Amino acid sequence: MGRVIWLFGSLSILFLEAAEREKSFESVGIWTVVLIVGIVAAGILFFASREMAKLRKFYENMLAKQLEIEEKQNQILTNMSENIHDAAHEALKKSHDIIENHAHSTLEKEKLMEDIEDQLLGVTNNLIYFLRLKSKKIEINNKPFNLNNVLNEVSGLLGTKYAGKELELVFDVDNNVPRYIIGDSLHIGRVLTNLFEYMFSQLTDEELKLEVTMFRSHEEKIDVQFRLKDTGPGIPADLLESLFVPYYDEEQGAYVGLELFIAKALAELMGGTLYVESREGKGTTFILDLPLELVDSENRRRYRLPDKALTEKKVLIVDSNFNAALAIKKMFAYFRHDVRVIRREDFEFSMPKMDEYDIVILKEALFSEKVLRYLQEIKKVKRGLKIIALNNLLNVKESNFHDGLIDAHLFKPVNQERVFELIISLYDMDVPRVLFQDRIEEEGESRLPRAKVYKSEIQEAKGITPESFSEFAGKQLLIVEDNMINQKVLTNLLAHSGIKITLANDGQQAVEIVKSGKVKFDFILMDINMPVMDGFTATQVIREEGRFDIIPIVAFTALILESEKQKMFSCGINAFLAKPLNVGKLYQAMAMFISDKAIESAKEEEKREKEAIFDGLEINKGIAHTNHNEALYIELIKEFIEAYGQSDETFAKLVREKRYEQIKMLCVDMRGLAGTIGATGLHDLVNDVYKYILFNKHELLWGYVEKYAKELTKVRKAAEAYLFSKEMMS
């Protein structure tokens, strides 16, 4: 600064001396220019000097922050074993307190214990990712994957972990985002899960919205942006800078910021960016930008309904959250539906005429007695009206509505794939079989026995240790899983069991390994969300050959919705295990299928099933369909026998006369009724006939005339036996 003043003073003196000596106008003009140049130069030097000082200060601060980050990360590494010990010790202490607390019921204790185990498992997984990132062991594998599978798995994990939380979760996916893209689905899912979990920990009853948008860059390249926006309190500006810096909080006895550090590091490894914007009182937004690729630039839509009749429906949506309703509207509009959204307040003030719509989607809380009566009256007149109950994934619960009124349940957050499958299922088309598995068994085809299907949740076997799995020594196990950490956890768990393990990193590898025939597998553990080929498709392809029907395939997944589970069973999966891994449930699943010793619980279940079946009629299932009203079920059985007890003669006549449209109508009625009364065999048989009609395979109908008669006779006799037993009891 002193030099600048000295220079300015010297130039001024020179100017005055020159003006004194040279009185001419020209000389003054020249020296005026010189003075101006000098002042400008002095100004430049002054500002340059100040900017240099600022720059030095900036770099000093950056270096200090970098050293602070490294110090915190080093502290994590230095104290990691001690911290893990403390976390485990705290978990054991909490577990002991829960066991000793007699105020909790057994079920409550089990739930609390599961929560503690999940927390400890979550911390451990994050630490493993942290260590793998620090040692540069994380590899990015870009492969084709279904983005909706990733979103379903993320929402499933959240639905399990935060069940009951009063928070509105919304997925708003632009219609230009393709079904299949090329990228690292495993790590994209991990980034989104970590971001969601952080935001869930900061929110109570606000809205959390994920917006997914695609931008074309060049050729097959695209940029996909994920924006996670909440309506919470926001993050103070002084905390934003350190948000992605992990450290161990000794007072809380917990790691802080580890999940966000991992998310940011993975985003950068994938060539993308992750940053945060927040204003106190206005909410927080995380922006994840990822460079990805198109699988097929010429055919990006990829969601095509199998029949034009399924498009251009009139849809009404009423929800308590208007943003969620608008996101759902966008997804139905994708399939060329005419969609109207009404606010909940407007609906309650003045109920609109719903008979002009084809599909009505109502928040489940809106089904008052008045609305139910109104809808029942409309359905009597307009039988084609489809009514959908809308609810939140975080509050999945059994519905009390009669199947005759509610056609389907839709759980938020919603994506295109769920809407696509919902539309098809509403109009009696089986999604997995229509898309992938149109396998028709010819008459006389010899097939091996099929592995039993367990649709209920697998119960946890107590007191299971790694040594317990030696019961399955010598068995051949195929683990289909793209997550290397999950692979290692499973292989380490079973390392000394004597089980022979084969690994597949995706569904395509699994199919190739199974169909090669080199190994005869006793059990397949199948992940669902995988790149290249997902677990749904892999199972369908394996089941294409009857010789593999005997192999039990158990899904290992985070999916929790009934529709998702039903899709698994339609694909050929025999049972499902929920993520994260539960050792007791894994043991139980293997015991149910491949144990040489009978498991007592499986025996009891089989016994109950046998008792519930009157050779063609599953009574307990039928009673459950009438909301456990046995008197109503008895009346339903009587009406069925009277109306359709001789329908075998009608069916035979229609086949002879080639009246296929009438056969289709009979099948539609019989499918619904047979399923409702628990006539599973008849339901499945009619379902096959219906599909042959849809696919114009009329030549196969003759083989079903006798089958139909035999199955209906079984149902009729079972119904008569059941009704007689009830009369004897009364």
What does the pLDDT read at residue 258?
A: 85
* CATH match of 466-599 with 3.40.50.300: no
What does the pLDDT read at residue 252?
A: 66
What's the pLDDT tens digit per position in 512-531? 999 999 999 999 999 999 99
For 403, phi then psi, to 5°, come to -60, -25
**Pairwise CA distance, residues 476 & 593, whole Å:** 12
What does the pLDDT read at residue 538?
A: 95
Which whole number is the average pLDDT over 435-440?
36
Domain spans of the chain, in order of start: 2-59, 79-137, 139-294, 313-393+420-429, 466-599, 619-729
- The three-state secondary structure class of 596 is coil
Task: Name the percent of the chain lying above pLDDT 70.
Answer: 74
What's the pLDDT tens digit per position in 308-362? 888 889 999 999 999 999 999 999 998 899 999 999 999 988 888 888 999 999 9
* CATH match of 313-393+420-429 with 3.40.50.10490: no
Task: Flag the least confident range among 40-54, 283-297, 686-700.
Answer: 40-54
Kindly write down the DSSP assignment for every residue of 95-147, as one continuous string.
Answer: HHHHHH-TTS-HHHHHHHHHHHHHHHHHHHHHHHHHHHHHTT------EEEEH
283-294 and 273-279: which strand pairing?
antiparallel
Task: Note whether 313-393+420-429 and 466-599 share their fold.
Answer: yes
Q: Which pTM value belongs to this model?
A: 0.69
Query: Amino acid identity, residue 129?
Result: Y
Is residue 161 over pLDDT 50?
yes
What does the pLDDT read at residue 437?
A: 35
- The three-state secondary structure class of 309 is helix
What does the pLDDT read at residue 602?
A: 47
What's the pLDDT tens digit per position in 579-605? 888 889 999 999 999 886 534 444 455
Q: Tokens 């592995």: give the residue.
A: 451
- List the beta strands (DSSP E) in 393-538: 408-412, 476-480, 500-504, 523-527
Which whole number is the average pLDDT over 544-558?
91
Residue 577 pLDDT level (bands cut at 50, 70, 90): very high
- Estimate to the nearest angstrom the gap between the alpha carbon of 198 and the chain centroid: 18
**Pairwise CA distance, residues 505 & 484, whole Å:** 8
What does the pLDDT read at residue 674?
A: 84
**Pairwise CA distance, residues 539 & 528, whole Å:** 9
**Pairwise CA distance, residues 184 & 484, whole Å:** 13
How many angstroms separate the Cα of 282 from the Cα of each of 209, 227, 279, 321?
14, 15, 5, 18
* CATH match of 139-294 with 3.30.565.10: yes
